[in-house]
Chain A
Amino acid sequence: MVVIHNMKNMILSELYKNVTLKYLIVVFISMFVVISAYSLLFESAPIEEWKENAQEMKELQQEGILALSKESGEENYDKLIDYFNGIVSTIDYCLKNNIPYNPSNVYYFMSRTTNLFTIVIFLCIYLCSRVYSVESENETWKNLVCCGRNRNTIILGKMIFTIMLTCAVFLSYAFISFLVGLFRFGINGNDYIYVKMVEKSIVESNYIVDFFVSIGLSLYKTIFLIVLMTFIYFIFNNDKIALIVPISTFIFAGKINLLIEKYRWKKLLPFHYLTIDMKEVFIRSNMIYGFIIVLLLFMVIMSIGISLSFKHKEY
């Protein structure tokens, strides 16, 4: 009970020192502005017009296929033709089964906002790095160390707080996306079932479920990157390096993965899994186990490193 009480107090103290009213206003307004600006890229149309719009889209794809077929058979063109054919088949399936194709409603918009998750991930890394740098900037590590708590409790409190902060940011993002989508497009037919191509076959899916699966994947990646940031912070004792390393890791994970593609052990490194997206989860469902286990293993190893490093630090 005492341990839980201490931990609750540590987390609450982190909340007091890191989250102010000004901070909340800035974060919420920034999210609102970005999502609202993004919503302007989508056209708002009544649900009754979806068949007409889908037909138009189908014709556009067919024209594209025709134009590309006239070019010499390059591999890239073949891939494009396959992609366009996939869209045509999807539209045909939608028309046949009366499932609105890309409906102009809140659920479709929410599913599109997953494209902005990279920004949310960077925001989370920045906000969480402040949890540590606020102590360095104010030289308050010594206050924490002298407060009579075990050093592991102090660091665990901070790590739990960063995870809670990350979850709060993602949930706020989901909520604001919903509000903006609702305001701009409305429920508009209340259709949340959609059709997509997975491995050249058509499957029905759910916008809401997929949106939250996407959030789950990104959240897990973000937590990994935050543990990496904490690890770097304690190893190098430098706020800026701690901020740059996880952001660079996330940006260049794909490139690093390409460099090590020929090696079998690439699946034992996190880079392979940091590039994973919803599409891959559906194509290779067993990949999700590797994603969870490998990232978790690295998080545990880094957490042990953080604990050992903090234990021997002198202030």
Chain B
Amino acid sequence: MQLTINHISKEIKGKAIIKDISFNLEHGDVLGIIGPNGAGKTTIMKIICGLCQMTSGSVLLDDQPISYYYGKKEYPIGVMIESPSMYKHLSGYKNVEINALTKGIRNKEICNNAIINAGLLSSKDLRVGKYSLGMKQRLGIAMSIINDPKIVVLDEPINGLDPDGIKYVRELIKSLSNKNKIVIVSSHILSELNLVCNKVCFIKSGRMVSIINTYMESEDLETIYGQ
């Protein structure tokens, strides 16, 4: 399995938001996207999962555009972009069930497991409107991987999480990588990315400054980012 981001650019009203970004990811890769606010991290993620259209370039999964996988039984991408979005008037379980249905899964056991893995069993019948940010974040991540996707895109997944939550996300990303999934993750907390990513992409003003393999770098990310 290979994800190829090929010279993608995006313009809005003549202003370039993303300029000529390219990289390749293979199964088991965990890519961290780092950059200041407004650099274009979320836009890159949105383009990969089809929320945004690119002005030029292509996103290919095993040489096929993402649109090729629409309507297929197993859609290969799981996404949590920006803050997790849920139906606040419904329970956590109902939200998982709805999310599973839209992905073609009609299996209560899978929904229950997702809730259990997210550590939300005791509050599964509570309205999401009453969830804390950390609980929503856990539920959002659980929903994004409910269909066992090959690529998982997580935008700021540890935002609002307590230390236990951060540990949960860290271990989850590692386990996804061990299962040969591609994980793309963005965060402001460089030390966290250092722990889970094997590749890191630095973005500034819509341009890719560099992409490094963290295992081959002797310095930590904060030092590299500072440079």
**Residues on A facing B (Cβ under 8 Å):** 2-3, 5-6, 9-10, 12-13, 16-17, 20, 134, 137-140, 142-150, 153, 312, 314-315
A-chain residues with CB within 8 Å of residue B101 when the two chains form the complex: 9-10, 12-13, 16
- The distance in angstroms between the C-alpha atoms of A13 and B95, with both chains bound, is 10
Contacts A17-B94, A148-B147 known; 16 new A-B pairs at CB < 8 A: A12-B101, A17-B90, A17-B98, A20-B89, A20-B90, A139-B85, A140-B86, A146-B50, A146-B51, A147-B99, A148-B70, A149-B71, A150-B70, A153-B70, A153-B71, A314-B46
Stretch at the interface among B102-110, B184-192, B218-226: B102-110
Q: Are B49 and A146 closer than 8 Å at their CB atoms?
A: yes
With contacts A6-B71, A143-B102, A149-B102 known, is A315 near B51, CB below 8 A? yes
Q: Are A9 and B51 closer than 8 Å at their CB atoms?
A: no
Q: Nearest Cβ in chain B — how far from A47, in angstroms?
A: 49
Q: Among the interface residues B79, B85, B94, B101, which one has the most CB atoms of the partner chain A within 10 A?
A: B101
With contacts A2-B71, A146-B81, A315-B51 known, is A140 near B87, CB below 8 A? yes
With contacts A5-B104, A149-B70, A314-B53 known, is A134 near B75, CB below 8 A? no
- The distance in angstroms between the C-alpha atoms of A16 and B96, with both chains bound, is 11
- The distance in angstroms between the C-alpha atoms of A2 and B88, with both chains bound, is 30
- Closest B residue, CB atoms, query A139: B85
A-chain residues with CB within 8 Å of residue B103 when the two chains form the complex: 147-148
A-chain residues with CB within 8 Å of residue B69 when the two chains form the complex: 148
Q: How many residue pairs between the two chains, A and B, have CB atoms under 8 Å in the bound complex?
A: 86
Q: Nearest Cβ in chain B — how far from A52, in angstroms?
A: 56
Asked if B13 is an interface residue, CB under 8 A from chain A, the answer is: no
Q: Nearest Cβ in chain A — how far from B70, in angstroms?
A: 5
A-chain residues with CB within 8 Å of residue B49 when the two chains form the complex: 146
- The distance in angstroms between the C-alpha atoms of A5 and B143, with both chains bound, is 20
Q: Among the interface residues B52, B81, B88, B98, which one has the most CB atoms of the partner chain A within 10 A?
A: B98
A-chain residues with CB within 8 Å of residue B75 when the two chains form the complex: 147-148
Q: Are A144 and B102 closer than 8 Å at their CB atoms?
A: yes
A-chain residues with CB within 8 Å of residue B52 when the two chains form the complex: 314-315
- The distance in angstroms between the C-alpha atoms of A143 and B77, with both chains bound, is 12
Q: Nearest Cβ in chain B — how far from A310, in angstroms?
A: 13
Q: Nearest Cβ in chain B — how far from A92, in angstroms?
A: 59
| Residues of B91-132 contacting chain A, CB below 8 A | 94, 97-99, 101-104, 106
With contacts A138-B86, A142-B51 known, is A3 near B102, CB below 8 A? no
Asked if B15 is an interface residue, CB under 8 A from chain A, the answer is: no
Q: Nearest Cβ in chain A — how far from B82, in angstroms?
A: 8
- The distance in angstroms between the C-alpha atoms of A125 and B62, with both chains bound, is 45
Q: Nearest Cβ in chain B — how far from A143, in angstroms?
A: 6
With contacts A16-B94, A148-B75 known, is A314 near B51, CB below 8 A? yes
B-chain residues with CB within 8 Å of residue A3 when the two chains form the complex: 71
Q: Are A138 and B53 closer than 8 Å at their CB atoms?
A: no
- The distance in angstroms between the C-alpha atoms of A16 and B93, with both chains bound, is 11
A-chain residues with CB within 8 Å of residue B85 when the two chains form the complex: 138-140, 142-143
Q: Are B71 and A150 closer than 8 Å at their CB atoms?
A: yes
